[in-house]
Amino acid sequence: MNASELQSLLTRTMTALPKHSEELRELDAAIGDGDLGITVGSGAKAIVAALQTADPGVDFQAVLQLAAKAFSTANPSTFAALVGGGLLAASKTMAGKASLSQMDAAVIGDAVAARIMERGKSKLGDKTILDALIPSLKTLRAQNADACMVLDAMIATAQTKITETAELQSAKGRAAWAQERSIGQADPGATAYLRFLQELRASWEQ
């Protein structure tokens, strides 16, 4: 995949993502302040606008930088800052790249996860986006198949982990304030990541 193809793929994916805003708002309202739907919806739209107005011939690093800035500034929230910071960290790993491979995608994901862990002071088992993101990246690295099959496997892994961690008590963010009320609730951030993967998969063959 070249940078132009990534730009088009992300544009299609982010155009579709806001349709999940209400679901994410409801999930977040159950254990948080209910702003995740706005964060994801406005952030996705901001990324689309940034990519559509980008200079022709931007490289991988620039595409990720544009996405990082757009998402993090579209709505002032912790989730926006964490994801935006993760994408900015990921952009640095793509400097000088002429093409994007499956392993490059894993490197991007690893950089996002590492920055979220650092800035959010969170880890696996805290019932956050990391509980879906990190296991899905492990699945990505283990797959030797075409992109659609890899994405299907990542989606299955993320969904399984969201279901498993729903039985945990949230340990980070506003969800942690809910204490026992968070038990039995799917993590909103992890669900947002799952919806991203699903829309990425749907956009791949368009």
Nearest 5°: CA angle at 151, between 150 and 154?
90
Burial of 201 (0-12, 13-18, 19+ CB in 10 A): middle
- Tokens in use for 182? 């968070």
CA separation, residue 31 to residues 34, 119, 182 (Å): 8, 21, 6
pLDDT for the residue numbered 149: 96
pLDDT for the residue numbered 55: 86
Q: Look at domain 3-204 and name its CATH class.
A: mainly alpha
List the alpha helices (DSSP H) in the chain: 3-16, 21-31, 36-52, 60-74, 78-93, 102-120, 130-142, 147-165, 173-177, 188-204
Q: Say if residues 189 and 175 touch (Cβ distance below 8 Å).
A: no
pLDDT means per 10 residues in the chain (206 residues)? 94 98 91 85 97 90 96 92 96 93 96 95 90 97 92 97 81 54 79 98 91
Q: What is the pTM of this model?
A: 0.93
